């Protein structure tokens, strides 16, 4: 370690004591935002022995956490929350962000950063959290942002807000770091614990404090870089996924036209050691991938760079629910049926398999468009409790009985092994299936005398 670094460390130890307190698990951690990643992360720190206080504006979430229950369906989270709240008494929740800042040495902000109807970043939740933190900030605290943010936000928005509201100076009086969450919903706990973590501090001290903090909850590498680079890394990761899915979707549209099975082709292509094409589907949903590329697109427009590939990938993925609508119409016409007189059963409301999250789900576009055209829509999902205006049921048989067309929108495990004989007996003949997720084998469906239409075949 060079002399400068040693002096910085010495300053940390002397001035704040925070370094030691993190190592001793004596630092108190506050988490603002108890959502899909905020709660799992808060619970993991609590499980490691830290006293954690979390804030969420939603009183229902706070109430549920405080009785030791998880408000979301995520593998292992219910048990973990019960353990840290009820048994270990290491995690409590409140609706007051100010209380979190007052009672903590470290505050992690992990709130939603959506886009608005014009696809511009909507940073109101982050701004509100930064103001609350700033107004209650004390010398020596470490503030970490985990939300996905547009390039430059830490230096241009977060730090100035914290300084203005507190009257303190970052670097001299308090520490700021950016470390985006990188865990995939449905495997969140495991990925927080094992994925490598990237950290950018606005000073070397901030970076070092954040580094030793996160080493407590991950066995993955903890990598550090300039804060602006780290902001760009997170956006690159999700944009890469969006573009890769768009490639799969475009190929699927081509294969559909050519009468070739895109899944067979992609699976074989992925056999090549340097190819990893993702899976085509009915669209890209969730809170992250459909909006993160727009953070890049907006910044590119501002500085006059034309992002052709990223823009077109987004448009293509946004068009996929409309391709499903086209498949529904085509499949009914093929059997001499009229969409207007048909009953459509949509299987899957969540944006992807085995989650209860329906934010930005492609099913919303499909269901709302069918309803707008006055079509009779029934829907089912094992995890959610309502859809977007159709007749929803948690009982699949109820949703599917009498349907002319069954549309698979979500890759829930529960839909992988559908009983085709049963389906045929309760659907209107011939029993049309539009498989947006390619969960069923076309040959198996056709063998039963039913009709199969899938994305990419």
DSSP secondary structure, 368-409, as one string: HHHHHTT-EEEEE-SS-S--SSSEEES-HHHHHTT-SEEEE-
For ligand SAJ, the binding residue among 241, 314, 358, 412 (CB under 6 A) is 241
Q: Is 289 in the site for ligand SAJ (CB under 6 A)?
A: yes
Beta bridge partner(s), residue 178: 145, 200
Q: From the CB of residue 365, how many other CB atoms can be counted at a distance below 10 Å?
A: 22
d(CA 400, CA 390): 13
Tell me the residue length of the chain: 457
Q: What is the DSSP string of 281-337?
A: -S---SSSTTTHHHHHHHHHHHHT---HHHHHHHHHHHHHHHHHHHHHHHHHHHTT-
* Residue 182 in contact with ligand SAJ, rule: CB under 6 A: yes
What is the 8-class DSSP label of residue 417? T
Query: Applying CB under 6 A, which part among 17-25, 71-79, 178-186, 329-337 lies near ligand SAJ?
Result: 178-186
**What minimum distance in Å lies between the beta carbon of 276 and ligand SAJ?**
10
Structure tokens at 404: 């002319």
284 binds ligand SAJ (CB under 6 A): yes
Of these residues, 130, 288, 405, 457, which one is catalytic?
288
The yes-or-no answer on residue 337 being catalytic is no
Site pattern 85..124 for ligand SAJ (x: CB under 6 A): ----------------------------------------
> Can you count the helices (H) and strands (E) in the chain?
19, 14
- The interface with ligand SAJ within residues 333-352 (CB under 6 A) comprises 351-352
Annotated catalytic residue 405: no
Could you tell me the smallest distance in angstroms from the CB atom of residue 162 to ligand SAJ?
23
> What's the half-sphere exposure (Cβ side, CA atoms, 13 Å) at 318?
11
Compare residues 199 and 289 and give the one whose CB is closer to ligand SAJ.
289
Pick between residue 114 and residue 389 the one whose CB is nearest to ligand SAJ.
114
CB nearer to ligand SAJ: pick between 286 and 456: 286
Convert residues 187-226 into a mask of x (bound to ligand SAJ by CB under 6 A) and - (unbound): ----------------------------------------
CA dist 98 and 32 (Å) reads: 10
- Based on CB atoms, which residue is closest to ligand SAJ, 149 or 245? 245
Instruction: Spot the catalytic one: 234, 352, 358, 451.
Output: 234
Q: Considering the rule CB under 6 A, would residue 285 count as an interface residue with ligand SAJ?
A: yes
Q: What's the rounded Cα separation, in Å, for the pair 179 and 248?
A: 30
For residue 334, the minimal CB distance to ligand SAJ (Å) is 25
Spell 213-225 as b/e; 16+ CB within 10 A means b.
Answer: bbebbbebebebb
- Of 64 and 438, nearer to ligand SAJ (C-beta) is 438
Q: How far is the CB of 241 from ligand SAJ (least distance, A)?
A: 4
Query: Which stretches of the chain bind ligand SAJ, using CB under 6 A?
Result: 148, 181-185, 237-238, 241, 245, 278-279, 281, 284-286, 288-289, 351-352
Q: Show which residues are catalytic.
A: 234, 288
């Amino acid at each position: 370690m060079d002399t400068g670094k040693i002096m910085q460390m010495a300053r940390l130890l002397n001035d704040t004591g925070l370094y030691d307190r993190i190592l001793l698990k004596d630092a108190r951690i506050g988490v603002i935002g108890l959502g899909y990643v905020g709660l799992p992360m808060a619970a993991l720190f609590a499980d490691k022995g830290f006293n954690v206080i979390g804030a969420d504006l939603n009183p229902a979430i706070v109430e549920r956490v405080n009785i030791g229950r998880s408000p979301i369906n995520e593998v292992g989270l219910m048990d973990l929350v019960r353990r840290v709240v009820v048994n270990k008494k290491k995690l409590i929740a409140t609706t007051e962000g100010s209380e979190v800042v007052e009672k903590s040495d470290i505050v992690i902000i992990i709130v939603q950063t959506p886009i608005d109807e014009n696809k511009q970043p909507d940073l109101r939740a982050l701004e509100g959290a930064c103001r609350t933190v700033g107004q209650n900030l004390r010398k020596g605290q470490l503030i970490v942002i985990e939300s996905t943010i547009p390039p430059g936000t830490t230096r241009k928005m977060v730090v100035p807000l914290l300084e203005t509201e507190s009257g303190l100076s970052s670097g001299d009086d308090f520490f700021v770091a950016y470390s985006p969450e990188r865990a995939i919903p449905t495997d969140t706990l495991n990925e927080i614990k094992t994925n490598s973590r990237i950290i950018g501090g606005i000073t070397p001290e901030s970076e070092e404090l954040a580094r030793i903090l996160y080493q407590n909850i991950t066995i993955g590498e903890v990598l550090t870089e300039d804060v602006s680079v780290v902001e760009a890394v997170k956006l690159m990761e999700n944009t890469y996924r969006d573009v890769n899915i768009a490639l799969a979707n475009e190929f699927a549209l081509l294969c559909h036209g050519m009468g070739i099975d895109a899944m067979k082709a992609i699976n074989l292509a992925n056999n090549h050691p340097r190819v990893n094409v993702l899976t085509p589907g009915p669209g890209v949903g969730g809170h992250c991938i459909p909006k993160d590329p727009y953070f890049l697109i907006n910044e590119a427009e501002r500085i006059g760079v034309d992002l052709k590939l990223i823009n077109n990938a987004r448009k293509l993925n946004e068009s996929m629910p409309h391709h499903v609508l086209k498949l529904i119409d085509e499949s009914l016409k093929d059997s001499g049926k009229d969409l207007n007189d048909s009953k459509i059963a949509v299987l899957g409301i969540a944006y992807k398999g085995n989650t209860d999250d329906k934010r930005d789900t492609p099913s919303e576009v499909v269901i709302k468009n069918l309803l707008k055209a006055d079509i009779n829509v029934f829907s089912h999902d094992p995890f959610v409790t309502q859809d977007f205006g159709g007749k929803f049921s948690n009982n699949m048989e109820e949703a599917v009985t009498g349907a002319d067309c069954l549309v698979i929108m979500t890759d829930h495990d529960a839909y992988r092994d559908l009983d085709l004989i049963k389906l045929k007996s309760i659907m209107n003949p011939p029993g049309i299936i539009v498989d947006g997720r390619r969960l069923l084998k076309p040959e198996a469906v056709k063998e039963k005398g039913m009709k199969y239409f899938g994305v990419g075949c």
